[in-house]
């Protein structure tokens, strides 16, 4: 099972270049940080109090990166808003760390700084497809195929949308209608406060990053 | 059952707009003409002799547009080249005719000058999805997930490639790798090559007229 931040990372890889897509490069660290917080909140580890994140359940998740974040939040002197955590987490090293984790799980290969797919992805061994193909296929099923949405996947769509990366999942002819549908899915998803606030703040942070020269 | 021309047109429709995706308009009609020829070949109505098409079975198909093409082929005394037929059939009206067929088949519904998907498309399907979604999913499986393709799907990919419309199926980050894969799959496919040739000719003529 991949975590949300891993799925977000897979979507942002350019198959041809084996690097992070150009359009994703400025926002990837924010997207990853947002995915980590969103997933912790979805798992009931975090809650929102006075617009600030608080640890609700500090037991480890088993994921190294998420557990580090969880312990920093629980050891923090005072609670912070999600955006503050996002900024603290989203250093240059985060994407590389996520990539190394995926390589250790044998989802991608790293060869001379290029990310290459390990095919087939073991979760679905019947077909010769990369993990990215499956992540995208799930997004496409929900948005275009009318498959019932899962909170987790809607959170991922929301992050992808906030980072303006829907064009890595949908083709031009689908984009406008897909983006409307994504908005509807997000609006109708009964996210808890902590998830909703994190998603909202990632949207703002990403917008500022994209708009600034 | 849809014809290849119907499938090609379905892929060219913009979701939400109910009309053709703007960038398809330059090349689509030649692709549609190629799709008619490819369908006739699949149904063994015509055979290819070198680069010429010979009508071998003039009996009617279930499709009015294919039947029109058969009638046109039957009028010729000797087989003419594939590129001749692509030029002569590739009219602007072709897409409108195919739109009409698609509404009659219950794939599209026309609504005040635009088309909307009839959802769900597949009668036995559990998903609330359009015909376009199903078609793209199949093409993506063949190219990105290594699924064994049917001949029809290879022909459709070949036509999309000839019309430079593979970006209707693949996102930007997938495009060159998918393009290479498709190139391998369709190598030597005559009708797609003829469509690409006709489009190239027309573009060269247009650019020298401009210059």
Residue A15: which of B11, B169, B177 has the nearest Cβ?
B177
Contact B60, B67 (CB under 8 A): yes
pLDDT tens digits along B92-133 = 899 999 999 999 988 988 888 788 888 777 655 667 788 999
DSSP letter at B43 equals T
Using a CB-CB cut-off of 8 Å, the residues of chain A touching B21 are 172-173
**CA nearest neighbour of B171 among A23, A26, A162:** A23
Question: A167 vs B172: CB contact, 8 Å cut-off?
Answer: yes
The structural domains of chain A, with segments of one domain joined by +, span 4-211
pLDDT at B3: 96
What is the distance in angstroms between the Cα of B9 and the nearest Cα belonging to chain A?
Answer: 12
What is the distance in angstroms between the Cα of B117 and the nearest Cα belonging to chain A?
Answer: 11
Query: What is the model's pTM?
Result: 0.90
pLDDT tens digits along B31-69 = 999 999 999 999 999 999 888 999 999 999 999 999 999
Q: Number of A:B CB contacts under 8 A?
A: 84
- List C-alpha distances in Å: A87 to A25, A30, A95, A120, A201: 16, 7, 14, 35, 11
Buried b (16+ CB within 10 A) or exposed e, A103-118: beeebbeeeeeebebe
Question: A128 vs B146: CB contact, 8 Å cut-off?
Answer: yes
CATH of domain A4-211: 1.10.3630.10
pLDDT above 80: residue A118: no
Question: A16 vs B175: CB contact, 8 Å cut-off?
Answer: yes
Residue A171: which of B128, B130, B169 has the nearest Cβ?
B169
What's the rounded Cα separation, in Å, for the pair A138 and A118?
Answer: 19
Contact B191, B43 (CB under 8 A): no
**ipTM of predicted complex:** 0.87
> How many separate domains does chain B show?
1
Residue B175's domain comprises 4-210
């Amino acid at each position: 099972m991949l975590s949300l931040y891993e799925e977000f990372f897979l979507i942002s890889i350019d198959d041809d270049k084996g690097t992070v897509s150009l359009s994703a490069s400025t926002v990837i660290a924010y997207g990853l940080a947002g995915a980590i917080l969103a997933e912790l909140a979805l798992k009931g580890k975090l809650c929102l109090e006075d617009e600030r994140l608080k640890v609700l359940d500090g037991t480890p998740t088993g994921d190294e990166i998420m557990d580090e974040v969880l312990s920093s939040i629980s050891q923090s002197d005072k609670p912070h808003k999600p955006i503050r955590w996002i900024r603290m987490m989203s250093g240059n090293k985060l994407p590389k760390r996520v990539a190394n984790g995926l390589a250790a799980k044998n989802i991608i290969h790293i060869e001379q700084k290029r990310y290459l797919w390990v095919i087939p992805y073991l979760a679905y061994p019947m077909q010769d497809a990369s993990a990215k193909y499956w992540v995208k296929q799930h997004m496409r099923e929900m948005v275009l195929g009318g498959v019932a949405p899962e909170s987790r996947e809607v959170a991922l769509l929301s992050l992808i949308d906030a980072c303006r990366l829907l064009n890595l999942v949908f083709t031009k002819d689908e984009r406008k209608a897909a983006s409307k549908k994504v908005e509807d899915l997000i609006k109708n998803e009964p996210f808890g406060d902590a998830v909703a606030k994190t998603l909202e703040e990632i949207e703002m942070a990403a917008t500022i990053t994209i708009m600034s020269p | 059952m849809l014809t290849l021309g119907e499938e090609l047109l379905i892929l060219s429709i913009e979701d939400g707009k109910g009309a053709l995706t703007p960038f398809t308009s330059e090349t689509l009609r030649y692709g549609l003409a190629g799709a008619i020829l490819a369908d006739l070949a699949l149904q063994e109505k015509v055979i290819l002799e070198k680069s010429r098409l010979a009508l071998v079975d003039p009996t009617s198909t279930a499709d009015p547009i294919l039947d029109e093409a058969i009638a046109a082929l039957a009028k010729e005394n000797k087989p003419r080249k594939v590129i001749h037929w692509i030029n002569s059939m590739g009219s602007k009206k072709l897409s409108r005719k195919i739109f009409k067929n698609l509404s009659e088949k219950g794939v599209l519904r026309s609504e005040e000058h635009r088309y909307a998907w009839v959802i769900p498309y597949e009668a036995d399907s559990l998903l609330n999805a359009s015909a376009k979604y199903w078609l793209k999913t199949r093409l993506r499986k063949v190219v990105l997930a290594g699924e064994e393709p049917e001949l029809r799907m290879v022909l459709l990919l070949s036509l999309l490639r000839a019309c430079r419309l593979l970006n209707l199926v693949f996102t930007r980050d997938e495009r060159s790798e998918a393009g290479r894969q498709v190139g391998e799959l369709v190598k030597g496919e005559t009708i797609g090559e003829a469509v690409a040739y006709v489009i190239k000719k027309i573009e060269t003529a247009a650019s020298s007229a401009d210059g």
